[in-house]
Amino acid sequence: MARRETAGARAVRLINQLTHTKGPDAGRPFNLRPWQARIVRQLFTVGRDGRRRYRSALLMLPRKNGKTEIAAALAVYFLLLDGEIGAEVYSAAAEKEQAALVFGVAAQMIRNAPELAAECEILESQKRIVHRASGSFYRALSAEAYSKHGLNPSCVIFDEIHALPDRTLYDVLVTSQGARARPLFFGISTAGYDKHSILWELYSHAKRVLEAPALDPSFLPVIYEAPAEADWTSEKVWRACNPALDDFRSLDDMRVLAARAKEIPAQENTFKRLYLNIWTEQETRWLSLASWDACRVALDVAALAGRRCYVGLDLSRTNDLTAAVAVFPDDDGPGFAVLPHFFVPQERILVRSTRDRVPYDAWVHAGLITASEGPEVKYEDVRAKLLAWREVFDMRILAVDPWNAVGLTETLEKVDKLTVVKVRQGKASLSAPSKALEKAVLEGSLRHDGHPVLRWNLGNAAVDTDHAGNIQPSKAKSTERIDGVVALVMAIDAMTRDAGGSPEPAYQMVILGGPA
């Protein structure tokens, strides 16, 4: 007796009868690669009830590994080949152009198969394909479209979830599938950088399910990614997370992109995120952590006693870190040392550790951060640290962001007799010291002993640039905390103004970490 064809094998067989629509393989049978066929077979695994086991799936692949073609082939399958009457198949994306890409490929696959084209009406202007015999249709949606309420999807294929501006479209589509017996939500994306996004939610869940499938038996995670700590320039690493590399994904193109990213630090994060599927702290990194780490040496904090210093202070209450950073110019050379300290509310440490995925509690225990009792940073704790520094160091100027600082700065000026300078947070004030910091890091004239909180802030930092090339650290563009970097830039500004030097001196920096 002939062996019965499994649902996964049937799906692979029928998808293989579709054709490619672009490039040298255009018009040829799809011919799923073994790794692609494995994904399709997994997706169509049948449970004990005879229905598809998985109701949702997340496929994360680096760019140029055929995500759009897989999405389009699945859209055609669920419209015409799955056998459901009255199917509603949707391909969704953040932008109209991305949604149109999947639709265009799916429509061409149908046109390339005369027997399928004869059964369908392709409405190009509506981005809609109708199969009248079964009462089914496929439609492309974007987050920019009008209200999506009232839908009843049997299958949703969501492309490039990382680009969603908010979760509205995602929530509407997921919650509208409840009337179907066995719906499917199939998310496809490259990695992102916003760890407060819907994609990070899905990715985190996928990683947990990979470790313990029993947590969610109806969820299929398929993730091709390089480890965050991997050598991103290694071709061995590229091959491990790009299953199509040296097949229909060009190895020569990867080499060109990697070489460019090595020469232009701002492109490093883009390469890691798009081509290795590594989550990054922001879209475009301002300063290279590799350059920062290469400057690390062992230094003596006690040797700073009695030295003149300039302090930058970036204040917060609950949501951000408060950062105080002191810089100490050398008397006999171009260098200067940097001493940071940070403050957080005690009641927020557990929440912060979970949300930001950094060890605030360990940093507090190590004396790198002061934890204020209660839900807010107490400015008396900040004041106490500054006055303690003044007892040990020759503190010349305290540079402060005037936002939220009026009460504390008045006390520091009038009661404690500190010289306080207000530094407005704009490119006019921060461009020159930001470029001085940038130059020191990129030239390797910076030395530090690896203060982990400041390093984390630096790795998070993105900049805002205007048409004239002026820059400033941008909290809006940086998805995580950069308060230490802002305080450091303000301290550099105070030091250079007091010295009367050029706006962009050739600094040699010494960064000192640990408790003071």
CATH code at position 133: 3.40.50.300
Q: Are residues 162 and 132 in the same domain?
A: yes
Q: CA 509, CA 295: separation in Å to the nearest integer?
A: 9
Q: Is 411 a domain residue?
A: yes
Q: Are residues 305 and 215 in the same domain?
A: no
The per-residue pLDDT for 103 is 92
Q: Is 156 a domain residue?
A: yes
Q: Are residues 54 and 172 in the same domain?
A: yes
**Residue at a domain's end among 179, 199, 223:** 223
Q: Residue 414 maps to which CATH number?
A: 3.30.420.240
Domain that holds residue 263: 235-280
**Residue at a domain's end among 280, 313, 347:** 280
The per-residue pLDDT for 14 is 92
Closest CA to 157 of 93, 81, 63: 93
Q: Are residues 271 and 303 in the same domain?
A: no
The per-residue pLDDT for 319 is 64
Q: Are residues 239 and 215 in the same domain?
A: no
Instruction: Convert the pLDDT of each residue in 403-427 to its tens digit.
Output: 767 788 889 988 999 999 988 888 8
The per-residue pLDDT for 506 is 38
Q: Are residues 218 and 245 in the same domain?
A: no
Q: Are residues 352 and 400 in the same domain?
A: yes
Q: Is 230 a domain residue?
A: no
Helices (H), 276-336: 289-294
Q: Is 410 a domain residue?
A: yes
Burial class for 178, CB neighbours closer than 10 Å (0-12, 13-18, 19+): exposed
Do residues 305 and 330 touch, judged by C-beta distance below 8 A?
Answer: no
Q: Are residues 505 and 376 in the same domain?
A: yes
Q: Is 112 a domain residue?
A: yes
Q: Are residues 267 and 295 in the same domain?
A: no
Q: Is 285 a domain residue?
A: no
The per-residue pLDDT for 241 is 97
Do residues 188 and 216 touch, judged by C-beta distance below 8 A?
Answer: no
Q: Is 427 a domain residue?
A: yes
Q: Are residues 104 and 169 in the same domain?
A: yes
The per-residue pLDDT for 503 is 38
The per-residue pLDDT for 317 is 67
Q: Are strands 420-422 and 394-400 parallel, antiparallel or unpaired?
A: parallel
DSSP 328-363: EE-SSSSEEEEEEEEEEEGGGHHHHHHHH-S-HHHH
Burial class for 146, CB neighbours closer than 10 Å (0-12, 13-18, 19+): exposed
**Residue at a domain's end among 212, 247, 280:** 280
Q: Is 20 a domain residue?
A: yes
Q: Are residues 389 and 434 in the same domain?
A: yes
Give the residue ranges of the chain where pLDDT is below 70.
Answer: 1-2, 144-149, 265-266, 281-285, 317-320, 333-334, 355-356, 404, 467-469, 500-516
The per-residue pLDDT for 199 is 93
Domain count, the chain: 3
Q: Are residues 186 and 332 in the same domain?
A: no
C-alpha dist (Å) from residue 29 to 36, 76, 108, 154: 14, 14, 13, 26
C-alpha dist (Å) from residue 456 to 281, 288, 375: 9, 12, 23
State the Cα torsion 38-42-48-51 to the nearest 10°: -110
